[in-house]
Amino acid sequence: MTSHNGNDIRTLSIYAVVLNIIKLLDKIDLKIISILQSRGRSRLADIADEVELSTPAVLERVKKLEASGVITGYQALVDGKKVGKDITAFIGVSVGHQRDIDNFAAQMLKYRDVLECHHVTGDETFILKVKSANTGSLEKLLGQIRSVEGVTRTVTKVVLSTAKESQTLELDAGLADLSAAKRKGSL
**What CATH number is given to the structural domain containing 112?**
3.30.70.920
Q: What is the rounded CA–CA span in Å between residue 142 and residue 70?
A: 34
- Residues of the domain holding 101: 80-158
Residues 152 and 84 in one domain: yes
Q: What does the pLDDT read at residue 168?
A: 87
Judging by beta carbons within 10 Å of its beta carbon (0-12, 13-18, 19+), is residue 86 exposed, middle or buried? middle
The answer to the question of residue 54 being in a domain is yes
In a domain, 42, yes or no: yes
pLDDT band at 1 (very low <50, low <70, confident <90, very high): very low
Confidence of residue 172 (pLDDT cuts 50, 70, 90): confident
Which of 70, 67, 49 has its CA nearest to residue 58? 49
For 93-140, the pLDDT digits (tens) are 999 999 999 999 999 999 999 999 999 999 999 999 999 999 999 999
Proportion of the chain above pLDDT 90, given as a percent: 72
Contact criterion met (CB below 8 Å) for 96 and 149? no
29 with 70, same domain?
yes
51, 35: one domain? yes
How many domains, in total, are found in the chain? 2
pTM for the model: 0.74
Contact indicator for 91, 155 with CB cutoff of 8 Å: yes
Q: On the CB side of 94, how many CA atoms lie within 13 Å of its CA?
A: 8
100 lies in the same domain as 153: yes
In this structure, the answer to whether residues 14 and 51 fall within a common structural domain is yes
CA dist., res. 77 & res. 151, Å (int): 31
107 and 55 fall within a common domain: no
- Shared domain check, 19 and 88: no
**Which of 47, 75, 103 is a domain's end point?**
75
> 151 φ, ψ to 5°?
-70, 125
What confidence tier does 8 reach under pLDDT thresholds 50, 70, 90? low
How far apart are the C-alpha atoms of 89 and 98, rounded to whole Å? 25
* Beta-strand relationship, 126-132 and 87-95: antiparallel
Residue 19 CA, chain-centre distance (Å), reads 19
